Amino acid sequence: MKRRNFLTSGALNTLALGFGLSGLAKPNLNLSSSSKSRTKKSKASGPVAICTWEFTQANATAGKLLDEGYNALDAVIQGVAVEEENIKNTTVGKGGSPDREGNVTLDACVMDHTGNCGAVMCVEDITHVAALARKVMEDTPHVILAGEGAKEFALNSGFEAENLLTEASEKAWKEWLKESKYQPIINIENHDTIGMLALDAKGNISGACTTSGLAYKMKGRVGDSPIIGSGLFIDNAIGGAVATGMGEEVIKTVGSFLIVELMRNGMSPQEACEEAVRRIVTTNPNHVNFQVAYIAINKEGETGCYCIHPGFKMMKYEKGANNPIVAGSYLQKN
Ligand code: SD4
């Protein structure tokens, strides 16, 4: 049975635990051995898992793992892996849209509760780039590996190379080539990057963000998603945030770091997400032409989400329930 079908058949727990912990080489998602021990609940109201967009299955995978006592880092890596291997998702992992020259290049990062982080940029032929970012974090003296070097490291670490350009993505790219007009479409083209945050039973927070970036980007373009502080930031004493949408705008405002700092200064996750969106729209009149959305969580397990244009949702898993939350939007409100 294919993994996806198996997941939806209700055997989620068994599967999610099985494919990491039995040490499967493909994909090597590298669950830490320490995560096998069950943990006691802390004062924090975890476990909670949230992710960008309506990725029900990915978020449920993370949530179930947290309920089983696995740590936040393992939960987010396993959760986002569901979308990385979903070939129907054209902005994450396998099946992602290529750049304008036909190369699928992936970006990802992870950050854990100790403040450790890892990232990979512009990686070709490797599906599970969030797991690869974790490898960079855990097995190298560096934070970021890019391009060929990242791929080489992946292959040496047991990841398998595969062609990420699916027939459907290739067909869409060839169609795009006819006009070669670069115009990301709000909530359509740039609507699928998955960023996920988890608060585990010990009260620790980790996050992951993984994407193929904007469709038909220039060769070599890197967005916010693998940039710590922009696409993702965690401070375990405060909370975490993750971004989706037009990466250039997130980078200019260091969005995720900003949200965590705003929470440090007393804002709720919701207030902090709203302020980070406001920073973009008040400085860039062109915001009517692009989407940016943020989600955030604090140490108490409170969450927030906000975006520029209506149409963004966050998934939230808490106490066994996994529900979509419709985000408020700047342009709807104002
Ligand atoms: C990027 N932020 O590469 C990503 C794209 C994205 O939903 O999030 N799409 O700019």
Q: What is the pLDDT of residues 61-98, one digit of tens each?
A: 999 999 999 999 999 999 999 999 999 889 999 999 99
CA dist 156 and 51 (Å) reads 30
Rounded to an integer, the average pLDDT of 198-209 is 98
pLDDT tens-digit series, residues 248-278 = 999 999 999 999 999 999 999 999 999 999 9
Beta carbons within 8 Å of 90's beta carbon, 6+ residues apart: 96, 97, 168, 169, 172, 192, 212, 215
First to last CA, the chain: 49
Amino acid identity at 125: D
Half-sphere exposure (Cβ direction) of 260: Cα atoms closer than 13 Å: 24
Domains, the chain, in order of start with CATH, read 46-333 (3.60.20.30)
The arrangement of strands across the sheet holding 328-329 comes to: 232-235, 239-245, 292-298, 303-307, 328-329
Instruction: Decide if 123 contacts 106 (C-beta within 8 A).
Output: yes
Atom of ligand 1 nearest to the CA of 212: 3
Q: Which tokens go with 116?
A: 């450790």
Rounded to an integer, the average pLDDT of 39-54 is 75
* 3-class SS shares of the chain: helix, strand, coil, % to 5: 35, 20, 45
Reported as type and span, the H/E element at residue 8 is helix 3-8
Cα 224 to ligand 1 centre (Å): 7
Pocket of ligand 1 contains residue 191 by CB under 6 Å: yes
In DSSP terms, 211 is beta-bridged to 107
Q: Which residues are catalytic?
A: 193
pLDDT of residue 12: 34
Tokens 């396998």, residue located: 94
Instruction: Decide if 257 contacts 229 (C-beta within 8 A).
Output: yes
CA dist 54 and 326 (Å) reads 10
Q: Which of 211, 249, 308 to mutate to test the pocket of ligand 1 (most atoms within 8 A of CB)?
A: 211
pLDDT tens-digit series, residues 115-147 = 999 999 999 999 999 999 999 999 999 999 999
Amino acid identity at 107: D
